[in-house]
């Protein structure tokens, strides 16, 4: 499972509140990614990181921010959660090749 | 139109059948192709990775790439109930650390 954990695994929150999801890896992979998965859309990239403090936007980055202060941790923040951000969020890591390895996911419900 | 198209299914087959899962893509710059398997309420698991036209075999699984037709396939021989999952195709331009573009996934059920 590439040593990836995500926390929390489930969260219910209210519209307008900030939410932070954490991805932790144990294998020192350089690249880390945040995706969301929704029916009919598949996996879509939110943000990614190519090193400590180096991040960039993906396909669906509006309303999300990320931070990576340590190699092992990649945080995704929803600054003010909306119902459209109800989704399953996956973290992935990559060593520098083209393959990516996924974490177990976080189910987020925004009421 | 999406860059990667994949029939969502569901696809239901009897145990022991040969399964064919397919994706088409529109951008000829895609060079590397992957298949992921995702069980219900789990994260995607990398199943196959290929980077050239032709076939790659791993046990009961064969990945096929036809770059001229922009078409990739995953074949599962002697399918088992444990193969019941959603199968996602993914592809990238290459160069290391590159973003993946995913199909929406095909749901497969293998029945006893």
pLDDT given at position A84? 97
pLDDT given at position B53? 87
Average pLDDT on A78-84 reads 97
C-alpha dihedral over A46, A50, A55, A59, to 10 degrees?
Answer: -30
Select the residue from A43, A58, A102 to test the B interface by mutation, using most B Cβ atoms within 10 A: A43
List, edge to edge, every strand of the sheet that includes B4-6.
Answer: B4-6, B19-25, B71-76, B61-66, B54-58
Average pLDDT on B63-73 reads 95
Residues in chain A with CB shorter than 8 Å from the CB of B107 are: none
- Surface of B (60-79) touching A: CB under 8 A: none
The CA–CA distances, whole Å, from A90 to A9, B12, B25, B40, B108 equal 10, 27, 24, 14, 21
pLDDT given at position A88? 98
Nearest CA in chain A to B94: A98
Greater confidence, B99 or A69?
A69
pLDDT given at position A1? 55
- Answer yes or no: are the C-beta atoms of B23 and B105 closer than 8 Å: no
Assign A2 a pLDDT band (cuts: 50, 70, 90): low
What is the average pLDDT value for chain B, to the nearest integer? Answer: 94
Greater confidence, A9 or B52?
A9
Bridge partners, residue A70, by sequence: A73
* Encoded tokens for B6: 């994949």
pLDDT given at position B96? 64
B105 interfacial to chain A (CB closer than 8 Å): yes
Residue by residue, DSSP assigns chain B as --SEEE----EEEETT--EEEEEEES-TT--EEEEEEE-TTS--EEEEEE-SSEEEEETTEEEEEETTTTEEEEEESS--GGG-EEEEEEEE--SSSPPPEE---EEEEEE-
pLDDT given at position B2? 83
pLDDT given at position B8? 84
Q: Which tens digits make up the pLDDT trace of A87-111? A: 999 999 998 778 899 999 999 999 9
**Res. B19: pLDDT tops 60:** yes
Q: Which single residue is written with the structure tokens 């444990």?
A: B82
Q: Which tens digits make up the pLDDT trace of B20-43? A: 999 999 999 999 999 999 999 999
Burial class (CB in 10 A: 0-12, 13-18, 19+), A106: buried
B41 interfacial to chain A (CB closer than 8 Å): yes
**Alpha-carbon Rg of chain A, whole angstroms?**
13
Q: Which single residue is written with the structure tokens 């922009």?
A: B70
Q: Which tens digits make up the pLDDT trace of A5-31? A: 999 999 999 999 999 999 999 999 999
Bridge partners, residue B91, by sequence: B33, B101
């Amino acid at each position: 499972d590439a040593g990836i954990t995500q926390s929390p695994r489930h969260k219910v929150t209210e519209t307008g509140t900030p939410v932070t999801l954490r991805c932790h890896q144990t294998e020192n992979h350089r690249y880390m990614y945040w995706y969301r998965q929704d029916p009919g859309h598949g996996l879509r990239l939110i943000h990614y990181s190519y090193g400590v403090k180096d991040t960039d936007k993906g396909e669906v980055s509006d309303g999300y921010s990320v931070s990576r202060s340590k190699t092992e941790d990649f945080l995704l923040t929803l600054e003010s959660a909306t119902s459209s951000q109800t989704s399953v969020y996956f973290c992935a890591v990559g060593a520098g090749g083209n393959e990516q390895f996924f974490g177990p996911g976080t189910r987020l419900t925004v009421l | 139109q999406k860059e990667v198209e994949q029939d969502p299914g569901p696809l239901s087959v009897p145990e022991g059948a040969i399964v064919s899962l397919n994706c088409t893509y529109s951008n000829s710059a895609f060079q590397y192709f992957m298949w992921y398997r995702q069980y219900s309420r789990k994260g995607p698991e990398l199943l196959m990775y290929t980077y050239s036209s032709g076939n790659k075999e791993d046990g009961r699984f064969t990945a096929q790439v036809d770059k001229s037709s922009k078409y990739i396939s995953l074949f599962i021989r002697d399918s088992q109930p444990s193969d019941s999952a959603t199968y996602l195709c993914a592809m990238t331009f290459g160069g290391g650390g590159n973003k993946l573009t995913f199909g929406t996934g095909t749901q497969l059920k293998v029945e006893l």
